[in-house]
Structure 1
Amino acid sequence: MLTAPRGRRRDHLLVTVVGLILAPVLPALAGLSSESALAGHLPLALLYLVLLTAVAVGAQSLFGARSSLGGVVAGMTALVMQIVILLSSDGADIVPFPWARALIPTGMTLIEVGVLVGGAWGMRIARRAGRAEARGAIRLATDDARIGVTPAAPPARRRDHIASLLVMASAVAFALGALQCGYAELVRGEGPANAFVLLAVPILLGIGTIFTGRSTLGARVVGPLLTLAGLPAFMSWTFPGLPGRGLYERILPDDPTAITFVATGVLLTGIGWGVHLARREGRASELAALRAGVFDSTL
């Protein structure tokens, strides 16, 4: 006897609320961390950074286990925030907080849009892939039990892993490079609208994170490496002797603490874990459904 699949209305409602809260919380923690680092208060800056990591990874894990709708809601909320900034005649000065006025020219909100929306789509793809893997495992077990039938090996994922790493690394490099093409001047009201930057950054990051649906290797490698790459500049305001500060000042003239590197790496790491959980949840739920005679086509 077939039974109805479990309703997901509560899951959708929960992740929607979390997504609405997540969009402003992520840049707030990143901005407070950057402000503390710039003032030389490294312990406080690291505390905010740990909180940012916990919030990002925790929220994406929730979205991966429950519903990717939360990532879409968070990304769209960040997009609304970005539009408000762009439409304001005061630009970054529209916000009353000093840390926010310093963070907005770095492009963190634009980064958030691409990463969150792309990550949500990647979760959707991964959950479907997990369900396909479960069905394949059942077929494999059935074929293996038949006398005289040699079961086909499951498809290798090596190409997906390599492609994920290359696509993510390229997308992040080009997106962060595009941010240096007049975005800071735009949000300060010092330059004309630049459609290239406004479109290239979220699209590139969206492509990179969508590809996590095939493999999370790119996000789980590039994310931590990007964070580590930004830490010397992040810590140099407490330890001026650290090498590389001059290089970062040339690469990121509007981001003295390299918070775009650090925070983007944290976001990508969270996306990687969330998509991994989505694939695992899809596989587990499909196996349970097949064994119980439940057929659920929702995502």
Structure 2
Amino acid sequence: MSAVVAKVSSPGRRRRWMRVRVGILGFLVLCGAGAVVRRAYELQIERAPALREMAEEQYLRSVRLAPKRGTVYDRNGAELAVSVDVDSVWASPSEIRRLGGDPSAVAMQLSALLGVDRERITRRLSTDRHFAWIKRHVTPEVAEQVRAADLPGVHLDREARRFYPNRELAAHVLGFANVDGQGIEGLELSLEERLRGSRHAVPAIRDRRGRVVYSDSLLDDTVGQGADVTLTIDRTIQRIAERELALAVQTYEAKVGSVVVLDPRTGEILAVADYPTFDPNDPGAYAPSHRRNRAVTDRFEPGS
């Protein structure tokens, strides 16, 4: 009789034990789910601001940009001096080493791409600095070659370059700006504060190699931009005055000459021409005497 009872009760015990195990498993699953929910709440709610700040520090960077200079127009709205965006090449010597790059090899490749003396680049990369200009204001074609080379620690940044679309026209009046966008001579110097604008910071994104990648949606060309200036100069009259002055100097075998054209009704200056002249896009290619604004700085005897 006892054997029969044992056989009958054995399946019942197994079912009870199965229910216990299922209950334990369910409890463990609930505990695990609760832990996941608690962790998710901690990461997404409690620590979200701190984690967001840490993430932004890793990929966001605040970059101070030089302002774009204001445009100079003639009396009819023709552009005489403008600022255009170009690429400049710089490198981080410390980053090159951190990424396992060879400064000598990088210098050799940059020299071939940019036409810059290899020893000069090597000296700039032989420091522990985080920033060193390699070549500024390169052409779009050269910039694309540098970008395609993907050299460690080498970066491209956009800068504003001063450009004079009419070349020598009104060069002595306009003067010129240096590579940093600072007025050096002429109206570029005398109106420096008005044309210069103010530096401003913009957010940028860093890629996996720490290079700055700007977002068009984050950039605003009008922020900090310098004021535009409209002159009384008439581009057409200025061109005629320069042409006739050059012809007169050559005809009478003079060394220099100047012409000033005014509106007799208002006294407005319509043209100021000097000979010899220069191209403000490349002022370093000319002797200082070519850049002298004799119509303003030199004195002449009455009737001369």
Do Structure 1 and Structure 2 share a fold, with TM-score over 0.5? no
Instruction: State the TM-score, normalized to the length of structure 2.
Output: 0.22
Which has the bigger relative contact order, CA under 8 A and spacing at least 6?
A: 1
Instruction: State the TM-score, normalized to the length of structure 1.
Output: 0.22
Bigger helix share: 1
Bigger strand share: 2
